[in-house]
A and B are shown apart, each in its own frame.
Chain A
Amino acid sequence: MSERPEHWWAPLEVPTDRILTCRLGPLALDIHHAPGEWRLLHRHDDDEADAPAEAELAVAVGSIDDDGADRFMVADPDPRLTLVPCLLDRPVVIRPRQPVFLPQGEAITLYVSTPVVVAVRVGAGDRLLREIPSLPLSDTWFGSTTREGELCYSGRTRARHLRAELPRRAHRAVTPFQVRNEADTPLPLDRLSLPVQMLSVYGAADGGLWTEPLSLTRGGDSDLAALDVEEDAPEFAGATERLSGPREPRTSGGLVRAFSELFGDRP
Chain B
Amino acid sequence: MSGVLEVLANDTFAMVMRAAFLFALGVVLAPLCSRLVTRFAEDRFSAHHSQLMRRLVFYGVLALFLASALRELGFSLGVLMGAAGVLTVAIGFASQTSASNLISGLFLIGERPFEVGDIIRVGTTTGEVLSIDALSVKLRTFDNLFVRIPNETLIKSEVTTLTRYPIRRLDLALGVAYKEDVDRVREVLLEVADRNRLCLDEPPPLFIFLGFGDSALNIQFSVWAARENFLPLRNSITAEIKAAFDAADIEIPFPHRSLYAGEATKPFPVTVVDPDRRQDD
- Report which A residues bind B (CB closer than 8 A): 93, 95, 136-142, 146-147, 149, 151, 154
Contact = CB atoms under 8 A, between A and B. Distances in A.
A3 to B, nearest CB: 37
A146 B199 contact: no
Closest 4 CB pairs of A and B: A140-B201, A154-B201, A138-B197, A140-B202
B200 A141 contact: yes
B113 to A, nearest CB: 15
A154 B203 CA distance: 12
B200 to A, nearest CB: 5
Contacts of A142: 202
Interface residues of B, number: 16
A139 B229 contact: yes
Interface string B155-171: 00000000001110000
Contacts of A140: 200-202
A139 B226 contact: yes
Interface in B190-228: 194, 196-203, 224-226
A146 B167 CA distance: 7
A138 B199 contact: yes
B166 A139 contact: no
B272 to A, nearest CB: 48
Contacts of B199: 138-139
17 contacts: A93-B201, A95-B201, A138-B198, A138-B199, A138-B200, A138-B201, A139-B199, A139-B201, A139-B226, A140-B201, A140-B202, A141-B167, A141-B203, A142-B202, A146-B165, A149-B166, A151-B167
A139 B224 CA distance: 10
A106 to B, nearest CB: 27
A251 to B, nearest CB: 18
Contacts of B226: 139, 151
Given A136-B197, A151-B226, A141 B165 contact: no
Nearest to B228: A151
A136 B198 CA distance: 11
Given A147-B165, A151-B166, A151-B226, A141 B197 contact: no
Given A93-B202, A139-B229, A141-B224, 20 more contacts: A93-B201, A136-B197, A138-B194, A138-B196, A138-B201, A139-B201, A139-B225, A139-B226, A140-B200, A140-B201, A140-B202, A141-B166, A141-B167, A146-B167, A147-B165, A151-B166, A151-B167, A151-B226, A154-B201, A154-B202
Residues of A contacting B: mostly: strand
A225 to B, nearest CB: 21
A93 B229 CA distance: 19
Contacts of A146: 165, 167, 203, 224
A95 B201 CA distance: 11
Contacts, number: 42
Contacts of B202: 93, 140-142, 154
Contacts of A151: 166-167, 226
A149 B200 CA distance: 13
A157 to B, nearest CB: 14
A101 B200 CA distance: 25
Contacts of A138: 194, 196-201
Contacts of A147: 165
Contacts of A137: 197
Contacts of B165: 146-147
Contacts of B166: 141, 149, 151
B196 to A, nearest CB: 8
Contacts of B224: 141, 146
B224 to A, nearest CB: 7
A154 B226 CA distance: 13
Contacts of B167: 141, 146, 151
A147 B203 CA distance: 12
A93 to B, nearest CB: 8
B121 to A, nearest CB: 19
Nearest to A147: B165
Nearest to A191: B202
Nearest to A142: B202
A93 B203 CA distance: 13
Given A146-B167, A147-B165, A151-B226, A139 B198 contact: yes
B51 to A, nearest CB: 28
